[in-house]
Structure 1
Amino acid sequence: MTDTQTLLENRPPSLATLFLQRVEATPDAEAYRYPIPPASGEGPDDWQPLTWRETADRVFAIAAGLIDLGVRPEERVALACSTRIEWILTDLGVLCAGAATTTVYPNTNAEETAFILSDSGSRVLIAEDAAQLAKAREQREELPELAHVVVIKDGDATPAEGDPEGWVLSLAELEKRGRALLDERPNVVRECMDALRSDQLATLIYTSGTTGRPKGVRLPHDTWSYMAIVIGNLDGILFPDDVQYLWLPLSHVFGKVLTAGQVYVGHTTAVDGRQDKIIENLPVVRPTYMCAVPRIFEKVYNGVAQRARAGGAAKYKIFRWAVEVARDYAKTSQDNFRRTGTASVPMGLRAKHAVADKLVYAKLREAFGGRLRAAVSGAAALAPEIGYFFAGAGINILEGYGLTETSGPGFLNPVEYRTGTVGKAFPGLEVRVAEDGEILMRGPSIMQGYHGLPELTEQVLESDGWFHTGDIGELSPDGYLTITDRKKDLIKTSGGKYVAPAEVEGQFKAVCPFVSNILVHGADRNYCTALISLDEPTIMDWAREHGLEGKSYAEVVATEEVRELIDGYVRRLNEGLQRWQTIKKFRLLPRDMDVEHGELTPSLKLKRPVVEREYKDLLEDMYAGSRED
């Protein structure tokens, strides 16, 4: 078998070539499946399959349609759409046409959408529905370069008074134009694909950012070819008969990179970005692997804990016991494997684990569809205690690490994973840790730079190719990376002590089953405080059981009963912290932090400056009367 290094050294210039090779190798294999809701609106979705041959037919029609619209190599085609099959088809179509995809989150407001379209110089916008079309139409006078809007949803491509002729068309019409061009010039798409260069712009991903305007990250074709081959050759991770459940936002690099790995391996991907359907879809799709952000695993953990609590004291006691058994089992097996190469556990612990498996873990695995071999967690840190629980329960969560600027993951845990780390560097990627602890990376997955922002590019990308990630971490002697915190997020108290807020926040999520989001504050203060929002379904269930039925969420979290409940978990957290890390005071927020209010990024990362600005009065109140050293 050809080794990964040889494959990387001989990789094609573009993912488009790998896509063509996949279609030729397994034309009749299932590539994708996607849901079609029932016409009545009631009942289960009908999941439709799509073979690689059928995929290529639509992709080439879209590519030819874009060429017919006048789109030329490296010109930008923006894609404002949720995760659905058409996102993947149109992105591959843009790729094969030699153009470059500009990603736009569908929940981005009209003003910021216009900024991205203008800053990228996008010639065409592929819009999911009438709502996305309306954003472009509202800002059309500010977008002279935007020549066309292609609308995916049937019936929403309706021209309005004032629209230039031909400005709006449907995806079906685009594909019809493409097929007509292919009839005239059968090789028109292949010619574009053959002309692709490895350094040619393929994707412009705008980082949602935790501060300021989003920046366009320039990723050439070579990055996706590299990522596809690396991911596809990771030992024991992906197999041709796998079924992936893909719900992550494809406008985010984490979601998009999964499409590259799948093209190379050729397995089936079930595509449905409706987050409210995840729990319903898992037993239907029965994935063998899936990727998610930590918040999803936290919600599953909290939901299981709450159901156990609702079952009465005895059931909750069994659950708590099973949680500790799972963590002990995972820690012991991982420690033993690291020391001896064998994941052995003592007989007594093995016996406890077998009992807990029948009572708790088996039901949890069934909730994931019963076939989940591994799950990959990324985009933010997963609390180690939650990771150990899932590991002990037989759901292997492989943490990875990367950024938009590195085309997604540069690190991923191998099958012999270590909870609490993000694994080892991908082949072909160089890594070093600077004197201040910052992680630096160099290799074929690193961006070309920020679009139109040479000064910002120079701040993070050295002339010899080393990229400054802005993250603090440590490398073990055998290459496992542990992320400590964002360099800019480290808190220095007025007493001169450093605190990593993400570490404290992660530990709190592991001990408190009611938390949704938490922000630890304390820079230049003489102690740390926290703003905490609770998971609404979980705390409302608790409220009904404790005489608070009929109250709204805001009213429930304002009660003394709930404050005392959470205070107990804060005290438990503090028991395991250094004195200067402890949370001296906290406030419960009247609503959860969310993307809509700008407090979370679309990948559910906390925007600290936004939250601190929004709740400045609450923060100041927690320091009122204290002496700031």
Structure 2
Amino acid sequence: MREFSVPPVVTIGDAANLTDPVWDNAELAPDTVQFVRPTPAGWTDVTCAQFRDDVVAVARGLVAAGVGPGDRVALMSKTRYEWTLLDYAIWAVGAVTVPIYETSSAEQMAWILSDSGAIGCFVETNGHAMALAGVRDDLPALREVWQIDAGDLDALRERGASVPPAEIDQRRRAVKAGDIATIIYTSGTTGRPKGCVLSHRNMHSDISNAIPMLPDLFHAGARTLLFLPLAHAFARLIQIGMVQARATMRHAPDTKNLVAELQDFKPTFVLSVPRVFEKVYNTAKQKAHADGKGKIFDKAERVAIAHSEARDTPGGPGLGLKLQHKLFDRLVYGKLRAALGGHCATAISGGAPLGARLAHFFRGVGVTVYEGYGLTETSPAAAANLQNATRIGTVGRPLPGVTIRIADDGEILIKGDIVFREYWNNPQATAEAIDTGGWFHSGDLGELDADGFLKITGRKKEIIVTAGGKNVAPAVLEDRIRVHPLVSQAVVVGDRRPFIAALVTIDEEAWPNWLAEAGHPATATVAELRDDERLRAEIQKAIDEANAAVSKAEAIKVFRILPRDFTEATGEMTPSLKVKRNVVQQTYADEISGIYGH
């Protein structure tokens, strides 16, 4: 199968925009609880009417501050109620939200603010404000900075008291489907993040076609605890989906207390990345073995997987398997569901591959994990396993309104209203990503089966996607490491792994000088000294310098010094002296496995 298309369920009209559901909800269901937010007195409900009024109050403040249609306003904060509030307030005045990960370095922050030409920026903490102050001289377009934790939102509301509420309604109605809603900066192979321009139509089309396909997630009374960063397009899609479906959402900025929050809020579904599901599974398994119940858990695990696999066969699970499953549901599975709050029967996973075994395990214990696929450039969801169309081991069929084609070289091409407009200020990158036929070239490799289910088989481009779903451009780190005089080459690894690591080779010309300075014999080899504390300390300086350019999630946690340098003769280098990443990973597969403990 080379191409599969699903007709749209919903088509977004030219006059529609992402704020419409906020106003519709306030009129049609004013008392429905839209959010649960923290206050000094504890958790409190925010109804649809209250949310609309809060959006209007902040939007009036933005107008008073001179924010106009098309202006870019950056937002750097953890996932919290204020993130969502500000996003909708920015949209309500016709402006454009520019998310910045709250873990971003000052250098990354400066690039995004500078490239987007942001005139305002919301930051969360004093640390953010200080980092921004350090680069503000390089940002002539930036007029306003507001700090959430410093009470600046209250001041902004007061500032807007003189702006008539009717002006917000007028501005909001002037926003069209084709107008820019957000510019999301995504890592590029050249290092500098590219600004992905998404319109109101892009995002509205994506979620409006997904909601009817996922009634077990988006329905009246549905609840979700959102703990992924809202700077991530995936979490953002769920945010607008919960507003549109008039369901209830609570933000969880601190994942350290995630289990307690899940048990307190009792969500009906969660959105996550594979790493969280891996942790739930690993923690449960380790605890069972530590408590002397390892054999029971291992048997329960095998039964859960077998039961899920049997559901995909014509006859379904046999009587014996059903009875075993029922027994283990009482002994084991119920406790696992309780860890997610006890009411969570479904979950969505994206950002990195989940793996068929884990997907079968969770479905077997009573939590169906729908795996999906997409990129920031596709708003982001392009394909997903759905309630009545799931094939474990795939990322599902294209969502309604989306066509997926497999190119002759195996690359996944995508077309539909979800495909982004352009990369901001980067026509060359845009032309490389979207061809003249309107197909977006994903850079990922895949296969479509006869029923239109998509399987991801690899990636053309070198972007690393960690098990936590973080996109990491290796070039940023590698280029900085190679600046160190003792380093010859560096290869960053971590695709589908829990953290980023690096393989480093030593420059043969610089080696004799270092040996002399360190007091080692001139005949000593790198292979003999690669675990030497002084050598590792020297390379650590290069790693630290590289890590300064990226966020904590992208930083190198572990490095290995390789016993010899890469050469063309040994196959790791091209004639033009470019590193062959795939060859290095094959040659040093044992080293990489050692880094990750297996």
Residues 366, 453 of structure 1: alpha-carbon distance in 2 compared, 3 angstrom cutoff: same
Residues 9, 114 of structure 1: alpha-carbon distance in 2 compared, 3 angstrom cutoff: closer
Tell me, in whole angstroms, the C-alpha distance in 2 between the residues paired with 1:172 and 1:377: 36
Aligned to 2:159: 177
Matched, 1:56 2:34: no
- Please show how residues 460-609 of structure 1 align to structure 2 within 5 Å: 460-488=433-461, 597=547
- Structure 2: where are the runs of 5+ without partners? 1-5, 469-473, 475-492, 500-539, 573-586, 588-598
What secondary structure is seen at the aligned counterpart in 1 of 2:132?
Answer: helix
The alpha-carbon deviation at position 236 of structure 1 amounts to: 2.7
What secondary structure is seen at the aligned counterpart in 1 of 2:288?
Answer: helix
Contact 1:439–1:468, Cα closer than 8 Å, also in 2: yes
Provide, for residues 257-298 of structure 1, a one-character-per-residue CA deviation record: whole Å limited to 9, x for no partner.
111111211000111221112111011010001100000001
Matched, 1:244 2:215: no
Aligned to 1:617: 561
What secondary structure is seen at the aligned counterpart in 1 of 2:78?
Answer: coil
- 2:177 corresponds, among 182, 194, 198, to 198
TM-score, normalising length: structure 1:
0.74
The alpha-carbon deviation at position 24 of structure 1 amounts to: 1.4
The alpha-carbon deviation at position 209 of structure 1 amounts to: 4.9
- Please show how residues 201-212 of structure 1 align to structure 2 within 5 Å: 201-209=180-188, 212=191
Contact 1:423–1:481, Cα closer than 8 Å, also in 2: yes
Aligned to 1:84: 80
- Structure 1: where are the runs of 5+ without partners? 39-45, 156-169, 491-500, 510-518, 520-528, 536-589
Aligned to 1:539: none
**Counterpart code for 1:87:** W
What secondary structure is seen at the aligned counterpart in 1 of 2:352?
Answer: coil
- 1:321 corresponds, among 299, 319, 338, to 299
Tell me, in whole angstroms, the C-alpha distance in 2 between the residues paired with 1:59 and 1:83: 17
Contact 1:245–1:270, Cα closer than 8 Å, also in 2: yes
Tell me, in whole angstroms, the C-alpha distance in 2 between the residues paired with 1:391 and 1:459: 40
The alpha-carbon deviation at position 68 of structure 1 amounts to: 1.3
**Counterpart code for 1:171:** L
Provide, for residues 344-369 of structure 1, a one-character-per-residue CA deviation record: whole Å limited to 9, x for no partner.
21111111111221111110011111
Tell me, in whole angstroms, the C-alpha distance in 1 between the residues paired with 2:224 and 2:495: 36
Residues 121, 364 of structure 1: alpha-carbon distance in 2 compared, 3 angstrom cutoff: same
The alpha-carbon deviation at position 446 of structure 1 amounts to: 0.8
What secondary structure is seen at the aligned counterpart in 2 of 1:415?
Answer: coil
Residues 306, 62 of structure 1: alpha-carbon distance in 2 compared, 3 angstrom cutoff: same
Residues 304, 265 of structure 1: alpha-carbon distance in 2 compared, 3 angstrom cutoff: same
Residues 141, 601 of structure 1: alpha-carbon distance in 2 compared, 3 angstrom cutoff: closer
Aligned to 2:333: 361
Aligned to 2:594: none
The alpha-carbon deviation at position 622 of structure 1 amounts to: 12
Provide, for residues 184-235 of structure 1, a one-character-per-residue CA deviation record: whole Å limited to 9, x for no partner.
xx31111111111222111011114576111110001111221231122124
Aligned to 1:297: 277
TM-score, normalising length: structure 2:
0.77
Residues 11, 396 of structure 1: alpha-carbon distance in 2 compared, 3 angstrom cutoff: farther
Matched, 1:21 2:1: no
- 1:74 corresponds, among 70, 94, 111, to 70
Provide, for residues 571-623 of structure 1, a one-character-per-residue CA deviation record: whole Å limited to 9, x for no partner.
xxxxxxxxxxxxxxxxxxx9xx99x9589978x6xx6xx869x7351485999
Tell me, in whole angstroms, the C-alpha distance in 1 between the residues paired with 2:278 and 2:564: 29
What secondary structure is seen at the aligned counterpart in 1 of 2:10?
Answer: helix
Tell me, in whole angstroms, the C-alpha distance in 2 between the residues paired with 1:118 and 1:172: 27
What secondary structure is seen at the aligned counterpart in 2 of 1:8?
Answer: coil
**Counterpart code for 1:409:** A
Matched, 1:275 2:255: yes
Tell me, in whole angstroms, the C-alpha distance in 2 between the residues paired with 1:224 and 1:190: 21
Aligned to 1:395: 367
**Counterpart code for 1:455:** Q
The alpha-carbon deviation at position 12 of structure 1 amounts to: 4.6
Tell me, in whole angstroms, the C-alpha distance in 1 between the residues paired with 2:347 and 2:14: 27
Contact 2:59–2:90, Cα closer than 8 Å, also in 1: yes
The alpha-carbon deviation at position 36 of structure 1 amounts to: 3.9
Provide, for residues 13-39 of structure 1, a one-character-per-residue CA deviation record: whole Å limited to 9, x for no partner.
31112322122111111000023467x
Percent sequence identity over aligned pairs: 35
Aligned to 1:429: 402
Tell me, in whole angstroms, the C-alpha distance in 1 between the residues paired with 2:22 and 2:397: 27
Tell me, in whole angstroms, the C-alpha distance in 1 between the residues paired with 2:12 and 2:97: 26
Matched, 1:375 2:375: no
The alpha-carbon deviation at position 530 of structure 1 amounts to: 9.6
The alpha-carbon deviation at position 531 of structure 1 amounts to: 11
Tell me, in whole angstroms, the C-alpha distance in 1 between the residues paired with 2:571 and 2:188: 34
Tell me, in whole angstroms, the C-alpha distance in 2 between the residues paired with 1:530 and 1:103: 24
The alpha-carbon deviation at position 248 of structure 1 amounts to: 0.9
Matched, 1:419 2:419: no
The alpha-carbon deviation at position 154 of structure 1 amounts to: 3.5
Tell me, in whole angstroms, the C-alpha distance in 1 between the residues paired with 2:37 and 2:550: 28
Provide, for residues 387-422 of structure 1, a one-character-per-residue CA deviation record: whole Å limited to 9, x for no partner.
111111111100011110101111111114222111
Residues 216, 619 of structure 1: alpha-carbon distance in 2 compared, 3 angstrom cutoff: farther
Contact 1:228–1:263, Cα closer than 8 Å, also in 2: no
Tell me, in whole angstroms, the C-alpha distance in 1 between the residues paired with 2:219 and 2:23: 19
Q: RMSD value over aligned CA atoms? A: 3.2
Tell me, in whole angstroms, the C-alpha distance in 2 between the residues paired with 1:462 and 1:258: 29
Contact 1:227–1:260, Cα closer than 8 Å, also in 2: no
Residues 599, 358 of structure 1: alpha-carbon distance in 2 compared, 3 angstrom cutoff: farther
**Counterpart code for 2:251:** V
Provide, for residues 292-330 of structure 1, a one-character-per-residue CA deviation record: whole Å limited to 9, x for no partner.
000000111110111011112xx1011111111111111
Provide, for residues 445-495 of structure 1, a one-character-per-residue CA deviation record: whole Å limited to 9, x for no partner.
1111111111111111112210011111111111111111212359xxxxx
What secondary structure is seen at the aligned counterpart in 2 of 1:441?
Answer: strand
Greater relative CO (CA pairs within 8 A, separation 6+)? 2
Aligned residue-pair number: 500
What secondary structure is seen at the aligned counterpart in 2 of 1:400?
Answer: strand
Contact 2:194–2:423, Cα closer than 8 Å, also in 1: yes
Tell me, in whole angstroms, the C-alpha distance in 1 between the residues paired with 2:198 and 2:563: 40
What secondary structure is seen at the aligned counterpart in 1 of 2:231?
Answer: coil
Contact 2:105–2:551, Cα closer than 8 Å, also in 1: no
Contact 2:113–2:139, Cα closer than 8 Å, also in 1: yes
Matched, 1:310 2:290: yes
- 2:208 corresponds, among 213, 222, 229, to 229
**Counterpart code for 2:392:** T
**Counterpart code for 1:252:** H
Aligned to 1:454: 427
Tell me, in whole angstroms, the C-alpha distance in 2 between the residues paired with 1:277 and 1:446: 36
Contact 2:103–2:551, Cα closer than 8 Å, also in 1: no
**Counterpart code for 2:298:** R
